[in-house]
Chain A
Amino acid sequence: MEQNPLEERKGRIVTGVIGADVHVVGNRLLAAALERAGFKVINLGVLVSQEEFINAAIESSADAIFISSLYGHAELDCQGLREKCIEVGLEDILIYVGGNIALGKQPWPEVQQRFLDMGIDRVFPPRTPPRVGMDLLEKDLAERRRGGAE
């Protein structure tokens, strides 16, 4: 498969909306922003299972999985994802989760901590501009490439 050198350098990202959620607008805007910034995007769209995220990440040798969720079930849908990634040899893959990821209005630090405890690398509150996620991604990827452990 021929690779665009720029995309190759920037990184490959699998995006999608997890679980039984169909909120597609943020997913489309995020995928478009990532592409504009020069990333190779494998956008799985809506109603994506953990297995589909993992298979796509393996097939594309992705650097990161970007999971969107707007409907409140993200915590249920993300449980065990990190463990499954490790099982199939994706120990180092970055997993970012963002959106309305808690049921209702809950204190953000607590919500964030619950996802970090699940092995999610970065957790984003509602309405985070794509730029914020991309900046952190570039930083995280640069660190990985330097071989810097966390």
Chain B
Amino acid sequence: MASMIEAERFQAARKEVLSVWSTGRDVTESAFAYCEQRGDTGKFDLRLRAAKAAGKTLLQPRGGVPLVEQQIELLRHLETVGTADLLPLTVDSYTRQNRYEEAQRYLERSREANAALLNGFPVVNQGVANSRAVLEAVSAPVQIRHGSPDARLLAEISFAAGYTSFEGGGITYNLPYSARVSLERSIRDWQYVDRLSGYYTERGVTINRESYGALTGILVPPAIAVAISVFEALLAAEQGVKSMTVGYGQNGAIVQDVAAIQALEALTPLYLSRFGFVGVDVTTAFHEWMGPFPMTDGRAFGLIGLGALTAALAKATKVITKTPHEAYGVPTKEANAQGLLCSRLMADALAHQYPLDARAVAEERGWIVREASTMIEKALELGDGDLALSVVRAFEAGVMDLPFCPSVYAQNKVMPIRDRRGAVRYLDIGNLPFDRETVARNQQLVSERLDGLSGDPLELVEKDINFFLEADGIPVPEVR
């Protein structure tokens, strides 16, 4: 599994991948000329680099609907009304699981009814020309966002259409998104995507790759997100990726959340250079809270604001925004724009302020770096220096793990819990290879929280998941 996929083998694999669905035949080398002709418009990595240099936090919403005209209308609204800096093309769930027949059926029914029957844009079924039509209708760069353990064909169609940023990775788009796909397989399939990104990059079209650092979306201990992101950055760089975004999802304790972004920024370049990967631009993505969302607008906006504020304080390169409809599912374009505007205010207001206790952040960052490095080093030891093998064996042994994971390929032994300040700690460390001091500190913070508790600590964990919900519960509609 080691090192860059060899050219001949790669081209043979591409032929096979492109034959899976009819739209694959429209993938040609024309994308290179097409991207060149578009100039800097749509170059995702340029926008990220400029923001990072200026210390600005860019705003990016999520959003995908099945039809071209609907998608254009949505993106134009997010760009003009919502002031989004970067745009999304969120892909529907059938496509994510490579279920193109079902995607086709509901795409056709969406067309007949001029309605949205899918929860995203089915890029593969829409094909190169239709996907390009979306891109051409807006001026901000657009990223493909999904959740696919095997995104090879999706990446082929997306890159050929001119999309220059692609989210996901062999770990972060497998473990939170599937039940029975082995890491060995998903990493291999994502090495293809990373190689394809490298192939485009070498031909002048830099593809930005992003690790989905929010993972399962609730109470992911920062060190786990950091360790996984670092590995995905290394795996991507190994295949020739030169623009890498690493990510983390808001847990809600500002000091810890800011420290997590700083830890990503410290550790990722360190490991890239240790493995000899040079010239890789590293940027960061901060996800506004991915867990259960309040149903009332006021509380939802409060939470969106808290997320954007944290992202701005952390100087994350971009923040992925939420909407007041989050509790109800796929938002309208209007609600989506409101989430952006709320985030915009926070990001702008906080751009030049540092109202955080720098010492507290530094201390927290130190512990995150320490925990993450311990996991990474142990994994590398298990993998005999092979990156992919390190990840596979680390999750097998539980020295890397992910709580609330639907996949059987993580041990799921780690159980998070909040401490008294709301920061995420470990109720159960599982097999994470932490040193004695780390364990002792965690123990102390957790026992402070559990002090005086009678009954099942898991009920506290449930409360921690629902941390931001309405205190008294909301009126539940009548069930008949």
Q: Which residues of A contact B (CB under 8 A)?
A: 19-22, 24-25, 28-29, 32, 45-47, 70-73, 76, 100, 102-105, 108-109, 112, 116, 122-129, 132, 136
Contact = CB atoms under 8 A, between A and B. Distances in A.
B81 to A, nearest CB: 18
Nearest to A106: B328
Interface in B279-322: 291-292, 295
Contact of A71 (B93, B117, B328): B93
Nearest to B404: A25
B355 interface: no
Contacts of B97: 20, 47
A108 B328 CA distance: 10
Contact of B329 (A22, A45, A105, A122): A105
Contacts, number: 102
B377 to A, nearest CB: 30
B54 interface: no
A124 B479 contact: yes
B332 interface: yes
Contacts of B118: 73
B480 A112 contact: yes
Contacts of B102: 20
Interface stretch (B9-17, B172-180, B256-264, B367-375): B172-180
Contacts of A25: 216, 218, 291, 404, 465
Contacts of A127: 292, 295, 327, 469, 474, 476
Could you tell me the dominant secondary structure of chain B's interface residues? loop
Nearest to B474: A127
A103 B116 contact: yes
Greatest chain B CB density within 10 A among A32, A47, A112, A128 is at A47
26 contacts: A20-B93, A20-B94, A20-B96, A20-B102, A21-B93, A22-B177, A22-B406, A24-B406, A25-B216, A25-B465, A46-B178, A47-B97, A47-B178, A47-B406, A72-B329, A102-B328, A104-B325, A104-B331, A104-B332, A105-B328, A112-B477, A124-B479, A125-B476, A127-B295, A127-B469, A128-B476
B462 A72 contact: no
Given A21-B93, A122-B479, A46 B406 contact: yes
Given A22-B406, A47-B178, A100-B329, A108 B477 contact: yes
B106 interface: yes
A46 B96 CA distance: 14
B274 interface: no
B295 A126 contact: yes
A132 B479 contact: yes
B119 A71 contact: yes
Nearest to A72: B119
Interface in B164-183: 176-179
Contact of A20 (B99, B404, B462): B99
B267 interface: no
Contacts of A45: 179, 406
Nearest to A104: B330
A10 to B, nearest CB: 20
